[in-house]
């Protein structure tokens, strides 16, 4: 419920921003159009619901922590997702991995997955008014233990993974058709070497041929959009990653696919934000996985820091939010997992709002006039404007707790639901 004080605080904030030439109402309307793709795998430490799970060993992934209350079933995961969505302002999406198939207790190999194994997810999404994105799961499997999947030197192993990705794309297209919204299918593979390889060329030839085979099966762009996700290095691939940024960028541009940039998949001093305006000169859309790397690709929970703010500023001030798809990608088992979802999602939305509230027109005027002092001064002074009141307005508009009030809801859910599971 909005109080007179809330309205008064917002009006003061609105007037203060107007003095800088910023329309807060316009910014809030644009923010309403932002749909984050919320990743299901934060909810259960990337375990999934396969009947014979292999774990993440030798897969280039690692989740630390053992916070109590992890969901044990699909229904429990969905309940946790509902709790998270209820505290995130706006209308958002769900991002699924193939290992979250609902097989009714049957053991189904990944290269035999069908759209029917995700029917319950589609029905749940309809009930919750959500759209869905999808990912092939090329890790956590005996045939991935060597560290190679689509570029595996063994043709039989390579064929298995090609079939799995084809199945995943078929599932994604079915989801997109059913929910009447293109399902983004993102592909990341762990392929690479711990130490210096003797032959990089062969691995990349095999990967390129595998991708050509996968994408020879065409689906309507109204149902599926494909993205390729690179990485600098991973656990077990410290010396060589087959699907590097350069490899996937070249493939994506020539094959008409989206490139996916993960904030944690580059050198710590490299600016992912800077890449957006360069890549979108040559392609229509891109996917961003918003994560937080500390020293390496550590998949820490996203916070409202300089990295995510710079990302939002480049998107808002450049190609715009209609050409860049935003998805969360982190996993932390050391804390309340539902709270981690909400914390990260709200941080990204705050970053977008912060970018929308920059006095951009005045900054551009200063830059065009060669007044670099004024340009920098406007940016600096805008940091002191009453941002919180505008953010709280957005939260109240969507019926979610403003400020820090959502934290007590997380604590209550932990006591009421998560503690019972432990």
Q: Is 44 a catalytic residue?
A: no
- Residue 410's closest CA among 344, 326, 351, 352? 344
Secondary structure of residue 307 in the 3-state scheme = helix
Q: Is 265 a catalytic residue?
A: yes
Out of 262, 314, 332, 414, which one is annotated catalytic? 262
Out of 152, 245, 289, 394, which one is annotated catalytic? 289
Q: Is 289 a catalytic residue?
A: yes
Out of 50, 178, 229, 392, which one is annotated catalytic? 229
Q: Is 7 a catalytic residue?
A: no
Structure tokens at 288: 């961003």
Out of 44, 50, 178, 297, which one is annotated catalytic? 297
Secondary structure of residue 238 in the 3-state scheme = coil
**What is the DSSP pairing of strand 296-300 with strand 292-294?**
antiparallel
In degrees and rounded to multiples of 5, residue 286 shows phi and psi of -150, 160
Question: How many angstroms separate the Cα of 141 from the Cα of each of 74, 138, 323?
Answer: 20, 8, 34
**Which of 123-156 are b and which e, b meaning 16 or more Cβ less than 10 Å from the residue's Cβ?**
ebbeeeebbbbbbbbbbbbebbeebbbbbbeeee
Out of 45, 50, 178, 299, which one is annotated catalytic? 299
Out of 314, 329, 392, 414, which one is annotated catalytic? 329
In degrees and rounded to multiples of 5, residue 109 shows phi and psi of -65, 155
- Residue 44's closest CA among 84, 104, 86? 84
Q: Is 4 a catalytic residue?
A: no
**Distance (Å, rounded) from C-alpha 314 to C-alpha 308?**
10
Q: Which residues pair with 38 in a beta bridge?
A: 94
Out of 97, 265, 375, 394, which one is annotated catalytic? 265
Q: Is 299 a catalytic residue?
A: yes
**Distance (Å, rounded) from C-alpha 195 to C-alpha 59?**
16
**Distance (Å, rounded) from C-alpha 237 to C-alpha 215?**
26
**Distance (Å, rounded) from C-alpha 357 to C-alpha 385?**
9
Q: Is 231 a catalytic residue?
A: yes
**Distance (Å, rounded) from C-alpha 209 to C-alpha 313?**
37
Out of 41, 161, 188, 391, which one is annotated catalytic? 188
Q: Is 246 a catalytic residue?
A: no
**What is the DSSP pairing of strand 131-135 with strand 93-97?**
parallel
**Which of 274-291 are b and which e, b meaning 16 or more Cβ less than 10 Å from the residue's Cβ?**
ebbeebbeeeebbbbbbb
**What is the DSSP pairing of strand 258-262 with strand 286-290?**
parallel
Residue in this structure with the two tokens 């690479």, named with its chain if needed: 192
Out of 231, 350, 375, 394, which one is annotated catalytic? 231
Q: Is 133 a catalytic residue?
A: no
Catalytic site positions: 188, 229, 231, 262, 265, 289, 297, 299, 329
């Amino acid at each position: 419920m909005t109080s007179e004080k809330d309205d008064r605080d917002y009006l003061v904030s609105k007037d203060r921003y107007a003095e800088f030439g910023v329309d807060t109402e316009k910014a809030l309307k644009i923010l309403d159009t932002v749909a984050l793709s919320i990743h299901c795998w934060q909810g259960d430490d990337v375990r999934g619901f396969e009947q014979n799970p292999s774990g993440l060993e030798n897969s280039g992934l690692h989740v630390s922590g053992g916070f109590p209350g992890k969901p044990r079933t699909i229904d429990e995961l969905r309940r946790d997702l509902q709790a998270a969505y209820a505290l995130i302002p706006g209308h958002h999406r769900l991002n699924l991995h193939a290992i979250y198939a609902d097989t009714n207790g049957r053991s189904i190999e990944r290269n035999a997955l069908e759209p029917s194994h995700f029917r319950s997810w589609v029905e749940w999404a309809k009930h919750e008014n959500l759209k869905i994105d999808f990912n092939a799961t090329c890790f956590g499997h005996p045939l991935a233990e060597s560290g190679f999947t689509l570029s595996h030197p063994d043709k039989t192993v390579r064929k298995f993974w090609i079939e799995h990705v084809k199945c995943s794309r078929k599932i994604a297209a079915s989801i997109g058709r059913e929910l009447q919204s293109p399902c983004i299918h993102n592909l990341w593979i762990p392929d690479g070497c711990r130490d210096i390889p003797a032959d990089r060329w062969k691995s990349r030839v095999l990967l390129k041929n595998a991708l050509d085979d996968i994408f020879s099966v065409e689906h309507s762009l109204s149902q599926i959009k494909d993205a390729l996700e690179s990485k600098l290095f991973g656990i077990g691939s410290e010396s060589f990653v087959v699907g590097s940024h350069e490899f996937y960028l070249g493939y994506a541009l020539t094959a008409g696919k989206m490139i996916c940039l993960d904030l944690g998949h580059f050198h710590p001093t490299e600016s992912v934000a800077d890449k957006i305006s360069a890549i979108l000169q040559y392609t229509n859309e891109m996917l961003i996985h918003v994560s937080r790397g500390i020293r390496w690709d550590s998949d820490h929970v996203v916070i409202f820091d300089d990295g995510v703010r710079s990302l939002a500023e480049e998107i808002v001030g450049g190609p715009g939010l209609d050409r860049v798809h935003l998805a969360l990608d982190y996993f932390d088992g050391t804390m309340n997992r539902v709270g981690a979802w909400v914390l990260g999602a709200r941080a990204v939305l705050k970053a977008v709002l912060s970018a929308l509230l920059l006095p951009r027109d005045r900054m551009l005027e200063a830059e065009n006039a060669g007044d670099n002092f004024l340009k920098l001064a406007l940016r600096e002074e805008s940091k002191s404007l009453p941002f919180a009141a505008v953010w709280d307005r957005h939260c109240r508009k969507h019926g979610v707790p403003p400020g820090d009030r959502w934290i007590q809801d997380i604590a209550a859910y932990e006591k009421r639901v998560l503690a019972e599971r432990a």
